[in-house]
Amino acid sequence: MKKIILFTLLSLPFVNFCLISVYANENENNDLIKIVQAFKPLNSVLISPEKPFSTYPIQLYDFNKDGQKEIIFTFEIKAIEQQGQRNLEKSMGNQS
């Protein structure tokens, strides 16, 4: 019985620490998204890089080794469909 109580008491700080770190990561991700939205072009969407496959659209990396990580984000700019191209596509469709 004493071993069970001792195990429970010793494991509580570990469980508490895990919950705190998960909450901190959620807040960090939300902050990163807000920062990225301020710098991302209006007609773009965040995308994950093709290689390596397991990377996310927003990453942190210390380029200049000063201890401060810089934000890297990958995005794709949506093409704006122009009126002339739509007319061309319509006329090409009518020729078939």
Question: Would you say residue 14 has pLDDT above 70?
Answer: no
At 51 the pLDDT is: 82
At 62 the pLDDT is: 92
The length of the chain, given as a count of residues? 96
Question: Would you say residue 27 has pLDDT above 80?
Answer: no
Say if residue 28 is in the same domain as residue 58.
no
Instruction: Report which of residues 77 and 21 the model is more confident about.
Output: 77
Say if residue 2 is in the same domain as residue 34.
yes
Say if residue 27 is in the same domain as residue 55.
no
At 12 the pLDDT is: 59
Token representation of residue 4: 């069970």
- What percentage of the chain reaches a pLDDT higher than 70? 57
What pTM was estimated for this model as a whole?
0.52
85: containing domain: 42-96
Per residue in 48-93, pLDDT (tens digit) is 888 877 788 888 899 999 999 999 999 998 877 655 566 656 666 6
Alpha-carbon distance values, 89 to 77, 80, 83, 85 (Å): 22, 15, 10, 6
Say if residue 28 is in the same domain as residue 64.
no
Task: Reduce the DSSP state of residue 44 to 3 states and report it.
Answer: strand
Token representation of residue 40: 């991302």
At 8 the pLDDT is: 66
Say if residue 57 is in the same domain as residue 91.
yes
* Domain tally, the chain: 2
Q: How far apart are the first and last CA of the chain?
A: 84
